[in-house]
């Protein structure tokens, strides 16, 4: 899960670069970046849940 979260963050960084250089339209950037933010939050919460479950 840690690798998945890191890959999600890396993809967000790539999307930001594409957006900053004008290689990705603002609409597509909003669409993809917003979805990757949601995915990242889900992965983070899942990871925290698994960690907490192992602590009990």
Condensed to tens digits (0 to 9), the pLDDT of residues 7-42 reads 999 999 999 999 999 999 999 999 999 999 999 999
What's this model's pTM, rounded to 2 decimal places? 0.85
* Parent domain of 10: 2-55
Length of the chain in residues, anyone?
A: 56
Provide the pLDDT for residue 55. Answer: 63
Q: In the predicted model, is pLDDT for residue 44 greater than 90?
A: yes
Number of domains in the chain: 1
Q: Under DSSP, is residue 55 helix (H, G, I), strand (E, B) or coil?
A: helix
């Amino acid at each position: 899960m840690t690798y998945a979260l890191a890959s999600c963050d890396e993809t967000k960084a790539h999307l930001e670069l594409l957006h900053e250089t004008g290689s990705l339209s603002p609409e597509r950037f909003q669409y993809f970046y917003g979805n990757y933010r949601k995915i990242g939050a889900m992965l983070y919460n899942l990871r925290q849940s698994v960690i907490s479950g192992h602590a009990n």
